[in-house]
Amino acid sequence: MTPKNSWNYYPTLLGLSIGHFCIDFMIGVWPVFKTLEGIDLAIAGLIYAFCSVTGEGLQIVFGQLSDKGFRKWLIITGLALVGSSTLFAFTERYAILFLLFFLVCLGSGAFHPAAVGLTSRLSLRKKSFCITHFAAFGVMGFAFSQMVYTQVYEAFNGNTLILLIPLALVGLMFLIPQMTRMPERPGRPPSPPSFKKFMEFFKDKDLKNLYRSQMTSQIIMWTTIFMLPDILKFRAFPDWIVYGGGHFFYMLGGVCLLIPSGIIADRFSSRSVILVASLVAMILLYSFLLIPQISEMAVVSLLFAYGAALGVVSPVSVALGHKISTEHPGMISAFLMGGVWCIAEFVGPGGAGLLSKLFEEDAAARALMVIGIFFPLSIWYAFKLPAEVAEETALDVE
C-alpha cells in the first residue's frame, strides 16, 4: 500500500535508507579512531558510555517531538550533527573529543526515532521489510565506516574533514528533497514532550519483555563493535583486518540477512527469528573468542556469520514493537532504540573498557567474554515474547 501524498513509498524509503547509511557510517568511526590513536580502552569506553547515555538517551524526547510534527527537521538536523566525526583527528584533548562524540550521538538520537517512525508507516503489509531495508543501509554504513575512515585518515595525513563532502552530497541529492516534499502534519500545535507515554510501555508485558531482550542483545553487539579492533590487533592479524576489514565482514553478515529476516518475520514469527538468531550468535561469539589462532579466511568467515546472526535481532525487534503498539511510531522507535542504546552502550563499551583493566593478556577479548553472559538473558526474554501479533487495521502516514 502506497501513501496518497505527493511523495511516495519507495523513493521516500530509499532517501531515508541512504540517510541512515550516512548516520551509522559516522557513528562507526569512534571504535577504530581510538585504536588508530592508541587511546586507553578505559578512557575511550567512558567517553563512549557517557556520550551515548546522554545523546542517544534524548531519543525519548526526539521521539515525542517526531510524533508532534517535527519529523523532517529532526531527520535533517541529525544528518548535520553526525558530521562531527570528521573532526576527531584534529584534536588530542579528551574534553573536545567528548564534545564531538556527544554531537554525533545527539545527531543519531534525533535521526533514528523520526526516520524509523516514518519508515514504519510506509506500508501496512510490509512493515518488517521497510524497517529491515532501512536497517540494512545503516548496517552497510557501519560496515564501511572503519575501513573507509582508516584509508582517508592515512591517505590525507589525518585530514578526515574531506568526509563531509559525500555526507553533504547525499543529504542534498537524496534525503532533503524527500523531506521537503513531505506534507506538514495538521492538527494541534506541539506540546512539551512528556515521559508518561514512554513509561506506560513498561506496563505492557510484551513490550517490557521485548525491551529486555533488545537491551541484553544490544549490550553484546555494541561491545563487540567497540572491542573488535583491539582484539584483532592483539592477536596479530594483518592491518587490513584490524583497521576495518574484520569490522566490515562482521557488519556485512548482518546486511545479508536483514531483509530476508524481515520477510521471514512477516510471514512466520518475529519471535522465532529473534530466538534462533540469538542462540546461533552466542555459539559463534564464543567460538571466535576461545579460538584465537585461526587463519585470516577463518576469522573473517566467523565474523561474517556472527554478524549475520546478531545483526538481525535489533531490526526485527523494532518491527515487532511497531506491530505490538501502532499508535505512537516515534515513541516506540525511541523506546526500542534510544531507550535501549543509551543503556546498552553505557554498560557494554563502558563496562568492557573498565573490565579490560582486570586482564593482562588478550584483555579486550576477555572483557567481551564477560559481557557475553547477557546472551542467556536475551534468549530467555525472547522466549517470553508473543508468537503472533494481530495486524493493523488502518494506515496513517504522516
Predicted confidence at residue 139, as pLDDT, reads 82
Q: How confident is the model at residue 390 (pLDDT cuts 50, 70, 90)?
A: low
Closest CA to 51 of 100, 117, 10: 100
Q: Which residues of 51-90 are buried (b: 16+ CB within 10 A; e: fewer)?
A: bbbebbbbbbbbbbbbbbbbbbebbbbbbebbbbbbbbbe
Inside any domain, residue 186: no
Please report whether residue 389 resides in a domain. no
Averaged over 90-98, what is the pLDDT? Answer: 93
Which tops the pLDDT comparison, 207 or 335?
207
pLDDT for 121-150, tens place per residue?
776 667 667 877 888 888 889 889 999 999
Q: Is residue 388 part of a domain?
A: no
The closest of 235, 359, 214 to 288, measured between CA atoms, is 235
Tell me the average pLDDT of the chain: 84
The percent of residues above 70 in pLDDT, for the chain, comes to 86
pLDDT tens-digit map of 153-180: 999 988 899 998 877 777 676 666 655 5
Mean pLDDT of 65-89: 87
Is the CB of residue 29 less than 8 Å from the CB of residue 143? Answer: no
Distance CA 107, CA 29 (A): 14
Q: Identify the H or E element spanning 304.
A: helix 296-311
Number of H helices, E strands in the chain: 21, 0
Q: What is the count of structural domains for the chain?
A: 1
Please tell me the predicted confidence (pLDDT) of residue 11: 75
Among the listed ranges 54-58, 235-239, 374-378, which one has the minimum average pLDDT value? 54-58
- At residue 2 the predicted structure's pLDDT band, cuts being 50, 70 and 90, is very low
pLDDT digits (tens, 9 = 90+) for 234-268: 999 999 999 999 999 998 888 888 778 878 887 87
Residue 305's CATH number: 1.20.1250.20
Instruction: For residues 152 and 12, give the distance between their C-alpha atoms in angstroms, rounded to a whole number.
Output: 30
How far, rounded to the nearest angstrom, does the alpha carbon of residue 139 sit from its chain's CA centroid? Answer: 7
Q: What is the pLDDT of residue 3?
A: 43
Give the torsion sign (CA, 14, 16, 19, 20).
negative
How far apart, in whole angstroms, are the C-alpha atoms of residue 178 and residue 5? Answer: 12
Q: What percent of the chain has pLDDT over 90?
A: 45
Residues near 265 by Cβ (< 8 Å), separated by ≥ 6?
128, 273, 316, 319, 320
In the chain, the largest separation of any two C-alpha atoms, in whole Å, equals 62
Q: What is the dihedral of CA 190, 192, 196, 200, to 10 degrees?
A: 40
* Predicted pLDDT at 249: 95
Say how far apart CA 150 and CA 153 lie, in whole Å.
5
- 391 in a structural domain: no
Summarize the confidence of residues 181-194 as an average pLDDT: 48
Strands (E), 98-222: none
Q: What cell numbers appear for 82 in the block?
A: 553526525
CA-CA distance, 259 to 265, in Å (whole number)?
Answer: 10
pLDDT for the residue numbered 218: 94
Is there a domain that residue 4 lies in? Answer: no
Q: How confident is the model at residue 389 (pLDDT cuts 50, 70, 90)?
A: low
- Domain membership of residue 352 (yes or no) is yes
Q: What is the pLDDT of residue 377?
A: 95
Burial of 354 (0-12, 13-18, 19+ CB in 10 A): middle
User: In whole angstroms, what is the distance from residue 80 CA to residue 276 CA?
Assistant: 37
**Would you state the pLDDT for residue 181?**
54
The reported pLDDT for the residue numbered 107 is: 92
Mean pLDDT value across residues 43-66: 84
Distance between CA 23 and CA 43 in Å, rounded? Answer: 24
| Residue 1, domain member (yes or no) | no
Q: Is residue 398 part of a domain?
A: no
**Grid-cell match 590487533, residue found:** 233
Mean pLDDT is lowest, of 144-148, 226-230, 260-264, 350-354, for 260-264
Question: How confident is the model over 26-51, as a mean pLDDT?
Answer: 92
Whether the predicted pLDDT of 373 surpasses 90? yes
- Domain encompassing residue 285: 9-181+194-383
Residue with cell 506538514: 184
HSE (CB half, 13 Å, CA atoms) of 303? 26
The answer to whether 387 and 269 have CB atoms below 8 angstroms apart is yes
Does pLDDT of 187 surpass 70?
no
Q: What is the mean pLDDT of residues 207-222?
A: 94
